[in-house]
Structure 1
Amino acid sequence: MDGAAGVSEGAVGAAVRAGGQGPGAPLATPGEGGVAQPLGNLVEATPAAFAGAVFALFGLGLLVWTAVRARHRRPVYEGASPATSAAVAASVAVAALALGLWCFGRI
């Protein structure tokens, strides 16, 4: 036990093994000592949020457009029956929404 600081060697060794992030220590910059930072998840969360937003907006837009086309009894895809094209487009829209929610769940 270090009499001056009142800290045991075991506690100091544990703090060093944990990357020197003791109580009251400032946050280290990314890559300093190879220690994962509390805000390090932001690097992984940003692409997941962007991809989730893209998939969710595409799925929502496709679903709304499909509903409007089906309401007017127009085919979603020219040359196909309205029921078949609406079913395929709606399933793709729901899949895109599900993928967007999955991406948001990764944050």
Structure 2
Amino acid sequence: MAKKLTKKDVIDALYNVIDMEIGLDIVNLGFVYGIDIDDDNNVKVVMTLTTPGCPLVAPLQEDVANRLKEIGANDVQVELVWDPPWNPSMMSEEARKRLLGE
């Protein structure tokens, strides 16, 4: 039987999903709003992007699914939400330093 995935496993994998326009991962950018893992290692990621018109919607969703399948997820659902809207305060301190010079 496959190892039961944890939220930490999923988050660690999502650090490898890079928003190519910004050059940082979706975790530090604050895009990941929620993670649900069922007993069969099916994973649902609730996330957002900077704007609804972001041209990277499909590539980022695909990258999330691929990264999670690499660590043992069976089915991956990526739900994009726009509420609450993303804003720079959602980024990690590291991301704000790199992007905003804070």
Fold match by TM threshold 0.5: no
Higher relative contact order (CA closer than 8 Å, sequence separation 6+): 2
TM-score computed with the length of structure 1 as normaliser: 0.26
Whose strand fraction is larger, Structure 1's or Structure 2's?
A: 2
* Bigger Cα Rg: 1
Whose helix fraction is larger, Structure 1's or Structure 2's?
A: 1
TM-score computed with the length of structure 2 as normaliser: 0.28
